Amino acid sequence: MPADPNMKILVVDDMSTMRRIVKNILKQLGFNNLEEAENGQEALTKLKADTYGFVVSDWNMPVMMGIDMLRAIRADESLKKIPVLMVTAEAQKENLMEAVQAGVSNYVVKPFTAETMQDKINKIFK
Amino acid sequence: MAQQRAAAQSQPATDEPEQEEKAPDTKLYEELGELARFIDTTMKTLSEFSTPVSTSTEQLPQALSHLTNLKTMTEQGTHRVMLEVEAIQDNHLKLSGMIKELTLALQKTQAAPALLQQMQAISDTIGADDKRLLDIMTALSFQDLVAQSLNKLVTILQEVEHKLLQLVVVFGPYQKQAAKQEQDKASQMLKQLEATKNTSMDQDLADEILKQFGFN
């Protein structure tokens, strides 16, 4: 099923510039219902308070890392089906394996292009 | 340091010639005394480095401040470029809508095909520029990578500052031939430094340590 352009997407990153870049790319790809959070903890609070169709999250963040947020999402009955795309500067194989084991939907390494983002979203929502 | 040890070893503790004549506890006592003298010589030598060490320590907060400013400046500059890119993207969206309406109006008036082709060419150019704007936007993710590297540098410098302050505390009282009261103070400061090992350095503590040992 293709991605719903009206679904609410949560962009999680501690860097304001990266949140703005990811939101801009998603907007250019046709998604307009975009929210943001500065860390995993804030993201979990928002995810529990509203209905989201997709999460794009950074790996390295203060307060709560992206990988810990992912584990919390997969452990929560009401959130576990939300697709999570991890965006990270950490290209190590160990991190990728850790994310896969934690239930990540897909994985993008920084710096990335709009085409890469589109490709990953297409794969998640195929 | 090897030379110092050799120098310390070359000074015999007593004038007795044969060690095998001494009782084992006497020999151990003498070796301990020799070791103590070696440590004393080494500490005195190392304490001579205390002033340059403290000077470096005093400059570290300034270096940390420069790095933090650099991160802020790249972040502000990136947001400024993003603002302009977003403004052009918004203008392009409006222009695309206007071109679509104009094209429809021209088609209704059965305008010349060449005119419609020109409208299409304008639309294509805007589309190509939109792609470039998106490329500019994604290229700005360099700022995130720069910020992460700067954060790592800040952490390393904080660790170095911590270690240098430990050296100042250890050698400060030694250099000044301080009284027991000052050495107790140094011991207390070492404990405080240890407590802040895994957190950012409290600037007040750093200043207090440097002041205590005469570096204002």
Share of chain B residues as helix, strand and coil, in percent rounded to the nearest 5: 85, 0, 15
CATH number (domain holding residue A28)? 3.40.50.2300
Q: Spell out which residues of chain A touch residue B147, defining contact as CB-CB under 8 Å.
A: 15, 17
A91 touches chain B (CB under 8 A): no
Residue B77 predicted with pLDDT over 90: yes
* Residue A108 falls inside a structural domain: yes
Residue B149 predicted with pLDDT over 70: yes
pLDDT at position B2? 47
Q: Can you tell me the distance from the alpha carbon of A103 to that of A31, in angstroms, rounded to the nearest whole number?
A: 24
pLDDT at position B201? 54
Torsion angle, alpha carbons of A109, A110, A112, A114, to 10: 100
Q: What does pLDDT average to over chain B?
A: 77
Task: Give A78 to chain B, closest Cα distance, Å.
Answer: 32
pLDDT at position A75? 96
Q: Spell out which residues of chain A touch residue B139, defining contact as CB-CB under 8 Å.
A: 111
B78 touches chain A (CB under 8 A): yes
pLDDT tens string for chain A (126 positions)? 678 889 999 999 999 999 999 999 999 999 999 999 999 999 999 999 999 999 999 998 999 999 999 999 999 999 999 999 998 876 666 778 888 889 999 988 888 888 999 999 999 998
Six token digits for residue B100: 């679509």
B29 touches chain A (CB under 8 A): no
Is the Cβ pair B82, A24 closer than 8 Å? yes
Of these ranges, B159-168, B174-183, B192-201, the one predicted with the greatest mean pLDDT is B159-168
Task: Map out the domains of chain B as residue ranges.
Answer: 2-47, 57-212
* Residue A1 falls inside a structural domain: no
Counted domains in chain A: 1
Domain carrying residue A112: 9-124
Regarding an ipTM greater than 0.90, the answer is no
Asked if A39 and A63 touch (Cβ cutoff 8 Å), the reply is yes
Other beta carbons within 10 angstroms of residue B162's beta carbon come to 20
Six token digits for residue A123: 């794969």
Per mean pLDDT, which range of A35-49, A52-66, B11-25, B149-163 is the poorest? B11-25
